[in-house]
Structure 1
Amino acid sequence: MSSPPDNRVGRLEDWQSEASGRLKFLERLAETSEVRLAEERKANADERKANADRLAEERKANADERKANADRLASERKWTMGIYAVMVIAVITSPFVAKILSG
């Protein structure tokens, strides 16, 4: 049987061993947490970049669509003005044409 001082030393060594094991566990936990945090930050940065790229593409597509719509509207306005001009000319010249045809 061990004497009380030896028993104390044994308990102290056991406690120190447990504390050392806990410390190593906490160090590994901290390291894995740092690795996970770094991976998460990288994933978030990649996602933000992908979102920014997608948003830039959408903005460009919207700008292209607005330009195409503006060009189409300008073309339709020219066509409409041409139709109005033909109708006005027809209304103005119809009495003269009728007079010529009636003879």
Structure 2
Amino acid sequence: MRNAPTTIIVGSLISLLWVASANAQGRPDARTMTCEQAKQLVADLGGVVITTGQRTYQRFVKDRRYCERSEVLRREWTQTLDDRACQVGYRCAPHTQRN
């Protein structure tokens, strides 16, 4: 019975490490996905931040519901594994009035 608390502590630590490693995986990288995979990711999640380059990232959305009221949709392209200019989805951009 003396080992029961040790087993519980070790089990808890393993669980914490597993959760921490899952959270530390980072954001998806468009350069490692096909165009269709990247499009499907945006479609499934609605809005997602995706790595687009070595030091760049972009938030892609599937429709207007994922933008602020003062924003509009703009088509957004990025490089994927199989396409240099894949329209993954849209980005939310500030609405600018034209004179």
Q: TM-score range by the shorter chain?
A: 0.3 to 0.5
Give TM-score, length-normalised by structure 2.
Answer: 0.33
Structure number with the higher helix fraction is 1
Give TM-score, length-normalised by structure 1.
Answer: 0.32
